[in-house]
Amino acid sequence: MSDFEPDGRDLWQRYRAAAAALAGPGPGPEPDPGALAAYLEGRLDEDAAAPLEAWLARHPDALVLVAPLAPAAGAAPLDLIRRARALVSAAAPARPGWRHGVAWASIAASLLLVGYTGFLAGHDAFDHHDAIASLVGGELIFGPGGGEGDGAVF
């Protein structure tokens, strides 16, 4: 471009340097692929394209996202097709259905049952600590300093 605007690059560099020195909000987050695709197809009007173009101007490496489409794509490697197809199994449904919910409910019920059983077992042991103490041949002390608490055997 320097062929007809000799000072163009210098002016651009000064503009970029001055803009970078300004403390202010950036051009926003990366646009979503839908917006970029619409832009690439020329479907956005000037107002809709403005924030996207501002973002692209500040992220020059992302210009590759909106480069003109190739007229035709070649064939993909067979190994890629095989691996990509294998991502979705014929047997397993990909979306969780009612079976998914039942499975989680079963897990939750099992956990509750285990917890409740443990509580009952612990409670019974507390009620019969004298008998247990005689069985283990010592004295049961609950908690530090002789208080009731952790059920340690000494």
Of 62-70, 118-126, 131-139, 140-148, which segment contacts other proteins by CB under 8 A? Answer: 62-70
- Cα-Cα-Cα-Cα dihedral sign, residues 98, 99, 102, 103: negative
Q: Which residues contact 139 (CB under 8 A, 6 or more apart)?
A: 133, 154
Question: For residues 71 and 92, what is the distance between their CA atoms, to the nearest angstrom?
Answer: 37
Interaction between residue 48 and other proteins (CB under 8 A): no
Do residues 150 and 143 touch, judged by C-beta distance below 8 A?
yes
- Three-class DSSP category at 106: helix
Interaction between residue 99 and other proteins (CB under 8 A): no
Residue 95 region by backbone torsions, left for phi larger than 0, else alpha for psi between -120 and 50, else beta: beta
Q: Which is nearer to other proteins, 64 or 136 (CB)?
A: 64
Residue in 25, 26, 29, 68 binding other proteins, rule: CB under 8 A: 68
Interaction between residue 96 and other proteins (CB under 8 A): yes
Interaction between residue 35 and other proteins (CB under 8 A): yes
Residue in 28, 50, 116, 152 binding other proteins, rule: CB under 8 A: 50
Give the angle 72-73-78 at the CA atoms, nearest 5°.
150
Q: Which is nearer to other proteins, 81 or 153 (CB)?
A: 81
Binding site for other proteins (CB under 8 A): 1, 4-5, 7-15, 17-22, 32-38, 40-43, 46, 49-54, 56-57, 60-70, 72-77, 79-81, 83-85, 87-90, 92-96
